[in-house]
Copies of this chain bind each other. A is one copy, B any other.
Amino acid sequence: MGLAKTEKFTDQQNEIARFAKVFGHPARVSILQHLFKIDACVCGDLVDEIGLAQPTVSQHLKELKQLGLIKGNVEGTKVCYCIHKENWVAMKKVLIAFLDQDLPINPDCC
């Protein structure tokens, strides 16, 4: 199968999973951290930073772009990437709401 039965879950649950999934690979975590560190557009040097082959990095960038977490603009022969701020804030809200649920006050039960 290998296919998540999304129709069995709520839109909210599927959205949380979709966002979380993109962070489920260290290369994408690394790309995002680099974009945050640079605090601006990164043009071209991403492949050297990440340490994977160019097609592989390109593929991870595509996934990040598809989810709307980064923007990419062609700049001559280079492409410049940066965090999509509005979408990042929206995603953050969704995931933190899930992570930050109140923990039971009850003592441990099991």
Binding site for B on A (CB under 8 A): 4-6, 8-10, 13-14, 16-17, 20-30, 33, 36, 39-41, 50-52, 71-73, 75, 80-83, 85, 88-89, 91-92, 95-96, 98-104, 106, 108-110
Copies of chain A in the complex: 2
Q: Contacts of A103 on B, CB cut-off 8 Å?
A: 83, 85, 88-89
Whose C-beta in chain B lies nearest to the C-beta of A85?
B103
Min CB–CB distance A107 → chain B (angstroms): 10
Per CB-CB distance, the 6 closest pairs between chain A and chain B, nearest first, are: A21-B24, A20-B23, A73-B110, A9-B26, A41-B109, A13-B26
Q: Contacts of A41 on B, CB cut-off 8 Å?
A: 109-110
